[in-house]
Structure 1
Amino acid sequence: MVRLKSLTRVLVAFVLAVPLALATSSSADATSRLTGGLVDFGCATHGQLHCLGKAIKSPKGPGPKVVSTPVGYGPAEIRSAYGLSGLHGSGRTVAIVDAMDAPTAEKDLATYRAARGLSPCTTANGCFRKVNQHGAASPLPKPDYGWAEEISLDLDAVSATCPDCHILLVEADSPDTDPLMTAVDTAAATPGVVAISNSYGGAEDSTIKAADAHLDHPGIAITASSGDSGYGVSWPASSPYVTAVGGTTLTKAVGTTRGWSESTWSGSGSGCSALEPKPAWQHDTACAKRTVADVAAVADPKTGLGVYDTYNSCGGGAACDLLLQLGLAQGADGWVQVGGTSLSSPVVASIYALAGNSVTSGAQAYAHPGELFDVVSGNNGKCGGSYLCTAGPGYDGPTGLGTPNGAGAF
């Protein structure tokens, strides 16, 4: 510990003695998509469930690449790729359920929206609200740097997809099933909430079927990330009461009618549940129980969303940025390019809000498959070449029925 503290002091002194450009990327670099390896958010893992977000890794160390200006896709790209032009949320509320507290959530959301040309979404104007798992403004859970980054991703994803939606952030006391399901119930009981996004997951076990009752809220769309470790099933995505959202790699395709193309993101979770019953609206034949996923959206961090987050353990500034990238501090301090099915879940929840329908479980998309972009290429692992891990025409595990083409399927 003494050696680490000494190294940290040396690095801080070094950074402060050199130009700022040495610690952060240049503006020119920050205006484009970032490339590189991936790093997990580092959400607290003492609970049963974990967040499903990843960021582009810094070339300087094991931490996230932090830049000073907007990076990655923003509202214009998300709304263009999924045919959302002209659609409005009209003040409907998308609820975000996460664990732990993000102390800088509202401030960081304000910076993101201002940088992306969106109208303010604040507590003061009634657009944003943050509560604990019981729906009260206090006491809030213990802060966590990794979950704060997840929360920034979720809030910014809703803003990018449905700029005029209201946002309710419900923070569970811990990443355990009971607190998170209490938070889901609180979100569902809040007037105005039409969709609830859950960007976390964990292994199926004997407790999940009892916990499913907290996801059964007819008339409210509940989405869940399918997972970020490739082929394999996680819960709550496997619950028959949610829309399980897989992930894609989203790239611009100049000269095509759509202007975009998608393939399976290799990290997208999918497969056949070992425990959950097959919903009546799901008809694939190689899985007798619940199949994951139902639909998909962008998740590959290399084609991911740029988000703004400043909750960190090093106080901000040039020295902090370098410490974060070297893995000697936790959190973020500016713009990071992120993804994972933590991104695709709030995107789809926001499109449910744009649709303005009263929905139950994941059935809606199965009644309107023609309103989706079919993803026909890529895989997320080995499963004998079956559709459970390999994309192809029609339904497949990694991308479900496909990705949004407007809000018609929702």
Structure 2
Amino acid sequence: MRSILSPTGRRTAISLAAVAVLGISAAALATAANATGAPTAKPAAKSAAGPAWTRACDAPAPGMAACDALHVNNVPEHIRAQGVTPNATPSGFGPADLRSAYNLPANGGAGQTVAIVDAYNDPNAAADMATYRSQFGLPACTVASGCFKQVGQTGTSTLPANNTGWAGEISLDLDMVSAIAPNAHIILVEAKTASMANLGISVNEAVKLGAKFVSNSYGGGESSADTGYDTKYFNHPGVAITASSGDGGYGVEYPAASPNVNSVGGTALKKASNTRGWTESVWSTSSTEGAGSGCSAYEPKPSWQKDTGCSKRTVADVSAVADPATGVAVYQTYGGSGWAVYGGTSVASPLIAAVYADAGTPKAAIPAANIYSHTSALNDVTTGATTTCTPSYLCKAGTGYDGPTGWGTPNGLTAFTG
């Protein structure tokens, strides 16, 4: 059994058998949902405190995943111009903002390789990332220099079909790694479809190619098959694997539920006049949109996770900005018109993967365990909730650990070192 997102954003369970009764094969449904160059229209969400946005990717068919990127729609026209615009700073938080908010170095990632795993192909990935980096004064990272590599799921130059929705996700991921770890090498591994099998093969390939940090900004409903996926695709000791907790509010996605990954929740990030210069709260737009969190139905609780209100794996471990109303600047030309603003926990996963890269090669078998040994070195998020639940910490922030934000957000690199 898998779950899909209904047009209202609610998760709806549907079995493969039910799909067959409707006369539609899972493969056909997956193809219709994911393989087209232009995604189908998706309903916009409206925040009382911010702009409207749409989901970048189609809802997942059974056995498939969807990206967790949210595209803000009504960004001021002046920042939509193509190319570098030195006299018109793009809307949304840029690299300096994010490094300030999370107390991070300006030149991180040297000597490290971060991998991004996504589905389908963005033919403009390298060029768009180059524009983003040029706009914000970051060092170039090109194919020619050996800094950037874009491969299919088996590591070859044969790339999957183009897809405008996933291209937005890819642009977001590459820009976040560039912002936080500007001196790292980057590998983009593109799965041929958004099935968990193909995405999992891509994770294995990313590690095979030398990445010690792998970001996964996608998810689907939980399944009894997930524990098998843990062993087959996410069992990489000494590699920091991050996964978005999801954008559907209270409820658990996979692979974020895997005990082998660092599950990354989401916050609303705002500038403030306090000592830090920033404030954060749980990202929540409505009861069906916000940072994913909760208690897994299938995954065992890792030894390093000690909360008592969930006998299995609790989501999330750590968090970063995700609210599209406080979103980040992204440059996208395939399926986009230049500068854009994005939110969703798809922002947070590559951001945290890049923080790990700044901190250096992981020493723990499962680097997420480091978070639980250095909780005082994080910004504790204590306000906000996505809904009401029992026990309340699974969906509501408070002092210490909570589901939507984990132990908090980065405050330097201490919590991410060995």
Counterpart in the other structure of 1:40:
55
1:341 aligns with 2:345: yes
Contact 1:44 1:146 in 2 (8 A): no
Counterpart in the other structure of 2:252:
233
What pairs up with 1:4-403 in 2 under 5 angstroms?
Answer: 35-43=50-58, 45-46=60-61, 48-58=64-74, 67-68=80-81, 70-85=90-105, 88-137=108-157, 139-191=158-210, 193-213=211-231, 214-254=233-273, 256-266=274-284, 267-311=290-334, 331-358=335-362, 359-361=364-366, 362-384=368-390, 386-403=392-409
Residue 85 of structure 1 deviates from its aligned partner by: 2.6
Alignment CA distance shift 1:163-1:404 (3 Å): same
TM-score (norm 2): 0.81
The one-letter code matched in structure 2 to 1:67 is: R
- After superposition, the CA RMSD in angstroms is 1.8
Distance 1:144 1:43 in 2: 11
Distance 2:197 2:275 in 1: 46
Residue 223 of structure 1 deviates from its aligned partner by: 0.3
Deviations 1:89-124 (A, max 9, x none): 113111000000000000101111111111111001
Q: What is the aligned counterpart of 1:409 among 391, 408, 415?
A: 415
Deviations 1:264-286 (A, max 9, x none): 00110000000000000000000
Distance 2:229 2:348 in 1: 23
Distance 1:288 1:247 in 2: 23
Please say which structure displays the higher CA radius of gyration. 1
Residue 87 of structure 1 deviates from its aligned partner by: 5.6
Distance 1:276 1:158 in 2: 29
Counterpart in the other structure of 1:7:
none
Distance 2:66 2:178 in 1: 23
Deviations 1:333-359 (A, max 9, x none): 111100100000000000000000323
Residue 400 of structure 1 deviates from its aligned partner by: 0.3
Deviations 1:170-195 (A, max 9, x none): 0001000110000000011112x120
Contact 1:250 1:261 in 2 (8 A): yes
Alignment CA distance shift 1:238-1:90 (3 Å): same
Structure 1 gap segments, 5+ residues each: 1-33, 312-330
The one-letter code matched in structure 1 to 2:381 is: V
Distance 1:310 1:83 in 2: 31
Query: 3-state DSSP class of the match of 1:270?
Result: strand
Contact 1:35 1:56 in 2 (8 A): no
Contact 1:43 1:145 in 2 (8 A): no
Deviations 1:306-337 (A, max 9, x none): 100001xxxxxxxxxxxxxxxxxxx2111110
Residue 45 of structure 1 deviates from its aligned partner by: 4.2
Distance 1:402 1:203 in 2: 24
Alignment CA distance shift 1:384-1:289 (3 Å): closer
Deviations 1:243-274 (A, max 9, x none): 000000010012x1111110000110000000
Distance 2:65 2:95 in 1: 29
Contact 2:75 2:340 in 1 (8 A): no
Residue 404 of structure 1 deviates from its aligned partner by: 0.3
Distance 2:388 2:162 in 1: 38
Contact 2:154 2:202 in 1 (8 A): yes
Distance 1:59 1:262 in 2: 22
Same amino acid, percent of matched pairs: 53
Paired residues in the alignment total 352
Query: 3-state DSSP class of the match of 2:291?
Result: coil
Deviations 1:382-406 (A, max 9, x none): 2146100000000000000010001
TM-score (norm 1): 0.83
Query: 3-state DSSP class of the match of 2:253?
Result: coil
Structure 2 gap segments, 5+ residues each: 1-48, 285-289
Contact 2:106 2:180 in 1 (8 A): no
Residue 59 of structure 1 deviates from its aligned partner by: 8.5
Deviations 1:146-205 (A, max 9, x none): 0000000000000111111111000001000110000000011112x1200000000001
Bigger relative contact order, structure 1 or 2, given CA contacts below 8 A and separation 6+? Answer: 1
Residue 86 of structure 1 deviates from its aligned partner by: 5.4
Query: 3-state DSSP class of the match of 1:395?
Result: coil
